[in-house]
Structure 1
Amino acid sequence: MRFRISYYLLNLQVRERIHSYMAKRNKFKAFWKKMRSKYKLSFFNENTLEEVWTFRLSRLGAFLFFSALVIIIFSGAMYLIVGTPLKNYLPGYLKTETRVKIMDNALRIDSLNQAMQLNDAYLKNLTNILTGNVKIDSIRNIKDSLLSFPTDSFLTQSQATTSFMQRYEEEEKYKLNVLNQTIPTDGFIFFAPIKGVIKQKFNPENNHFGIDILAPKRVSVAATLDGTVISAGYTVDYGYVIEIQHSNNFISIYKYNAELLKSIGDKVSGGEVIALTGNGTKDSFPPLVEFQLWHMGQALNPEDYIAF
């Protein structure tokens, strides 16, 4: 008796499973049949009721058609971005060589503009001289004033001039670069090492020989000029520090980095990534990078050369 009951229950469970499986299969067939059912779209002439154009398409065909259309549009957009010069207009894609050429062309345009202004002023003055717009009396007055200038004043020095020269010689006699106080930056294109908010400015009186720039974590730090890495390592006070020697005796220093991407002896280009930002030390202040710029042992204010 128990065997019959168990057999009946087992048979009932098998039937239920078979029924459930068949119901799911029928639903799948109905769905697939519905997807493959074609629909007709016709266009008629309103005056003659003549069928002009007919379009037959199933739901599956419509899905495949629009999927292919999206893939074609996406592929075309990717080709325009990657395979054409349009990629240079994307933010952050401009190469270092292209940036250098753009800056060089801008400097050349400024130089040509200044040269054209000088030529225009020269031609204008020459035209005035040839047409007689310059008064001869003014030239004679200048000549007469030069001839009548007392020559004795060049030979004698006042007491103020003498005291100034003595004080200047006393202050400058221990300096090695008295005759050349200008910093050679002609033709140099300084790249900003990082874009961010300046937390602390250049203040050599308080032994702060650079600027502190706030930036998010894991952001690229770029070299400001072409050069060679002369120091790269970790310090307890400043985290990972990297120093680069540039031409014309320039040295740039980058402190409080979380990771260095270059080592000693590596050649770098202006704008090339050399480190990543982050909490370089155990202090709890936000991530920042201290950037210093030196020339022949003299600390320079980076804001005078770079637009942050």
Structure 2
Amino acid sequence: MKSKKRKYWNKLKNRYKLTIFNESTYEEVMHLRLSPLQVLTALSSLAVVLIILTIMLIAFTNLREFIPGYPSQQLRRQLTQNALRVDSLLNEVEKKDRFLRSIQMILRDEVLDTTHYMASSENVKINYDTTMLGVSQEEAGFREVMEREERYNLALGQVSFSDDDFYHFFSPLDGIVTNHFDEGTRHYGVDLVAKQNSNVLSVLDGVVIFTDWTIKTGYVIQVQHQGNLVSIYKHNSVLLKKQGDFVRAGEAIAVVGNTGEETTGPHLHFELWQGGKALNPETFIKFK
């Protein structure tokens, strides 16, 4: 058996002469001395080089798009764009669903469930009203009667609003102003950034005239004060008061948040209006 393998190996190494003659003169033009082993080695090397060149040509050129089953560049671009569109549509549908749920709850005169909009709502205290601490039963009953009678009395008495009253405003939030009042860009308020779950306070005594969730500004609450003055608080995560509630100056009415499309992070957008005219809050309130 070994002798047969040795003979076969010797045959592969045996050299053969390949001669090329001129057909007319029978003159030798050239000759080559090759062995079958050299021929096999040369053919194998050529095949490997051709395979490598073919793979590189397909991998680094557009020829790969002609391979059956391989997606074209245009198809991959369309798949990416469709994935982004589907993600945007899902976000819009979710916002619309939240808006419709809030409208349905308002129509049913139910309390808005804010557990879906604030992950840490368990740590938020809902009862911020401390005005009833240490109050006798007679005084509590008198307050309840007066607040019920004055619930929708937006004038809050016949006291006129003077410029001096501006200097007694409470700051709505212990935060830093990141965007100032600018009528030119239709930014009719100031943006205040503060710690998460910070309380939003009423700047003056007043009556809550609007509480709702909108697509652009999220949870919004508006308070009517004396002197035809209205304060507006936007992008809240939780509303602590409902429409018709009487609030004291410095009383918590909401929790700062990041709701609505027109927001880039947790902050409060605060506005002051009087007689249909926007006022610069920094003129009357000292912020950081």
**TM-score by structure 1 length?**
0.40
**TM-score by structure 2 length?**
0.43
More RCO (CA 8 Å, sep 6+): 2
